[in-house]
Amino acid sequence: MLHHVELYVSNLHKSVGAWEWLLCEQLGYTIYQSWPEGRSYRYGDTYLVFVQTEEDHLTPPYHRKKTGLNHLAFHASSLAQLEEIRRQLTARGFHELYADRFPHAGGPNYTALFFEDPDRIKVELVATM
In a domain, 63, yes or no: no
* Residue 105 belongs to domain with CATH number: 3.10.180.10
In a domain, 60, yes or no: no
Instruction: Work out the average pLDDT over 84-102.
Output: 97
pLDDT at 25 (0 to 100): 97
pLDDT at 128 (0 to 100): 81
Domain of residue 11, residue span: 4-54+70-127
The mean pLDDT of the chain is 96
Distance CA 3, CA 86 (A): 28
In a domain, 21, yes or no: yes
Domain count, the chain: 1
**pTM assigned to the model:** 0.93
Distance CA 98, CA 91 (A): 18
pLDDT at 22 (0 to 100): 98
Q: Measured in whole angstroms, how far is the alpha carbon of residue 113 from the centre of its chain?
A: 11
Distance CA 129, CA 123 (A): 19
List pLDDT tens digits, range 2-61: 999 999 999 999 999 999 999 999 999 999 999 999 999 999 999 999 999 999 999 999
